[in-house]
């Protein structure tokens, strides 16, 4: 992707045609307009800059002041050696990023459901008091409780399985109720994620939420 040999990558799969995350694009633009200055963006679980490269045509200097990926250590090492540039940087934690940047906009796309303990993380995330938070491609179920499942990766991608959460929506959002307004809710832009299955039965969906800190005047 970096060298132009593929258009973009998502979940370790290369694509020769882009499918744009239009909700993310729209809310990045809105956030920039509300902030009235280019955004310092933090992408939690952003791999080697997948979303950055997917959107690099619109992440112009008047929109994006910096794009900062928080990832596991091996991604950070590889990213900073082979992918980092004047805009794109990699960090091993949110705190490490904040030691160098004042972040405006946080993106969490398809990442929170793979954390071992997501709710303490969400509580800590709310406590940072960021201006804008956008969850995308996050799994929610139709039940009144969280459900832990085993996600099987299709073997044509690579043979693997991961523990994965399906969240109870109300409890998930309750972490942010004191400081944020839920400005928008939207479905996943990825085909096939509008309905998610557990034990081969429709049980939920990947979706997203755009949160605006109440200190920001929309």
Separation of alpha carbons 143 and 109, rounded Å: 22
Q: Residue 100: is its pLDDT beyond 90?
A: yes
pTM above 0.85, yes or no: yes
Name the CATH code of domain 8-213 (choices 3.40.50.300, 3.60.15.10, 3.40.50.150, 3.10.180.10). Answer: 3.40.50.150
Q: What is the mean pLDDT of the chain?
A: 92
Q: Residue 187: is its pLDDT beyond 50?
A: yes
Secondary structure (DSSP) of 161-218: EEEEEEB-HHHHHHTTTTTEEEEEEEE-SSTT-SSEEETTEEEEEEEEEEEEETTS--
Give domain limits for the chain: 8-213
pLDDT digits (tens, 9 = 90+) for 109-156: 999 999 999 999 999 999 999 999 999 999 999 899 999 999 988 888
């Amino acid at each position: 992707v970096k060298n132009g040999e593929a258009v973009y990558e998502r979940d370790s799969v290369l694509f020769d045609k882009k499918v744009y995350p239009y909700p993310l694009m729209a809310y990045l633009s809105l956030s920039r307009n509300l902030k009235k200055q280019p955004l310092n963006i933090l992408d939690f679980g952003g791999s080697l800059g997948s979303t950055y490269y997917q959107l690099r045509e619109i992440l112009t200097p008047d929109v994006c002041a910096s794009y900062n990926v928080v990832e596991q250590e091996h991604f950070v090492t590889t990213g900073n050696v082979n992918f980092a540039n004047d805009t794109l940087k990699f960090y091993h934690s949110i705190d490490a990023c904040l030691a160098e940047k004042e972040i405006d906009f946080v993106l969490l796309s398809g990442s929170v459901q793979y954390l071992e303990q997501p709710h303490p993380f969400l509580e800590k995330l709310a406590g940072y008091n960021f201006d804008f938070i956008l969850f995308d491609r996050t799994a929610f179920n139709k039940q009144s409780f969280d459900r832990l499942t085993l996600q099987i990766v299709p073997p044509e991608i690579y043979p693997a399985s991961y523990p994965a959460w399906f969240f109870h929506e109300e409890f998930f959002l309750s972490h942010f109720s004191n400081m944020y307004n839920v400005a928008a809710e939207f479905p996943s832009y990825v085909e096939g994620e509008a309905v998610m299955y557990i034990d081969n039965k429709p049980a939920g969906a990947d979706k997203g939420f755009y949160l605006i800190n109440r200190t920001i005047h929309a």
